[in-house]
Amino acid sequence: MGESTVTPLEGRDQAAPQPVTAEEPGRPLARLRTPRRPRLWFEVLLIAVSYWTYSLIRNAVPEQRSAALRNADWIWRSEHGLGIAFEEYTNHAVNSVTWLVVGMNYYYATLHFIVTLGVLVWLYRSHPGRYAATRLVLFATTAVALVGYYLYPLAPPRLMRGGDFVDTVAVHQTWGSMASGDLKHMSNQYAAMPSMHIGWSVWCGLTIFALARLPWVRVLGLLYPVATLVVIVATANHFWLDAVGGLLCLAFGFTVARLWYGSLPYALPRRVPARRAGGASLLPTKG
């Protein structure tokens, strides 16, 4: 008789879980920005304007032909010293197989854009909570690459002095490079370092591997940057070391996103956090 009673309503109130806010303690880094639901019109406009700006700045960088050729000679000597100067052999071996080299020319010209845009669309639709942070990695990577083009002009192997490289696009008359044929006057031919074909393809590969659910899709994600590396070398558009420059730019991009969002993009919740009436965000399960 002396026991106290609890009404059903009171029991539910006591058992109700408290929402977890974005300001929960224990996070390794303070978050400067909480992911928000992306807006389609804004993203389309942002990507279009950003790529236009990137192309404008990249092609406006002084070509500095003499410096670019000197730097190419230095890269080539350095690779010989390191024992990794395989570009010329790879270029000639692939050029001897017409169907293969033509396919690589079209790969170089198209997949760089198609796959990157495809991954952005997939992120927007399936991982909206991670989209903004992952997109920031790509944008920061590209932005720092522009600094590289300005500070370190570099001729691609096919334009080297004294080299025996084959310009596969010119020889096989395929549309495979903005820096060959009639299109060469529309693009800075001496912006080979860093390689954004590698920076963007590794971004795509890591994103697919980290977030895709089907094992074979994840494997394709890892193979894509490997294939891209072979293509850029076989078509004499880049040295191996240009790929290292692309990876360094990508590392910078990931660092910017981690500092901005307090986490690596792939560790963020899949869905955009809901918001309470008071304005604090509720973090859903990562999924």
Residue-wise pLDDT tens digits, 178-211: 545 445 555 678 889 999 999 999 999 999 999 9
Stretch 207-234: mean pLDDT, rounded? 97
More confident of the two residues 52 and 83: 83
Q: How far apart are CA 282 and CA 285, in angstroms?
A: 10
Give the model's confidence band at 34: pLDDT under 50 very low, under 70 low, under 90 confident, else very high: low
- Indicate if the pLDDT at residue 32 is higher than 70: no
The pLDDT, as a whole number, for residue 173 is: 81
Q: Indicate whether 119 pLDDT > 60.
A: yes
Residue tagged 């074979």 (tokens): 216
End-to-end CA distance of the chain: 49
What pLDDT was estimated at residue 45? Answer: 76
Q: What phi, psi does 21 have (nearest 5°)?
A: -95, 165
Q: How does DSSP assign 125-184, residue by residue?
A: HH-HHHHHHHHHHHHHHHHHHHHHHHHS-B--GGG-TT-----HHHHHT-S--TTSGGGG
- What residues contact residue 116 under an 8 Å CB cut-off, 6+ apart? 138, 200, 203, 204
